[in-house]
Amino acid sequence: MSEPLLIAKAGTTQLSLLPALANRHGLITGATGTGKTVSLQTLAEQFSRIGVPVFMADVKGDLSGLAAAGGAHAKVTERAAALGVELRYEACPVVFWDVFGKRGHPIRATVSDLGPLLLARLLQLNDTQEGVLNLTFKIA
């Protein structure tokens, strides 16, 4: 069994996750400034280090820093020393998917792959249009 993944630490209390007990879906919520992005980055880094692929939706690009190795910063180094956490600055393998295929890996999907619900949302259809689209998918 893999070693527990250290997710967070406060004083002598550690929050760890056993890889074998991690499920395939997660939700992190909270107010602005409560550490949601840092939590996601930490989880992704930890899973990447043990060879588990991670998919995260990142509309604003806050998580793109995973692609490059970080560097020392006085406050971060001080905080890590206070918690007794070893810092490792290393990049994680990432692929940026791009719906438009201009600045990242293009998403290749057919209309059939999308299905009526997702296609209706992408096209911003109203209820009537969505109903017609659903019928079209049932007939086709």
Identify the CA nearest to 41 among candidates 56, 21, 20, 51: 56
Write out pLDDT tens, residues 12-63: 898 899 998 887 777 889 999 998 898 899 899 999 999 888 888 887 888 8
Which positions ≥6 away from 66 have C-beta within 8 Å?
Answer: 41, 44, 45, 48, 91, 92, 94
CA separation for the pair 123, 34 (Å, rounded): 34
What band does 1 get if pLDDT is binned at 50, 70 and 90?
low
Write out pLDDT tens, residues 60-113: 888 888 889 988 899 989 988 888 888 888 999 998 888 788 888 888 878 888
Query: 24 in the Ramachandran plot: left (φ > 0), alpha (ψ -120 to 50) or beta?
Result: alpha
Which positions ≥6 away from 103 have C-beta within 8 Å?
Answer: 96
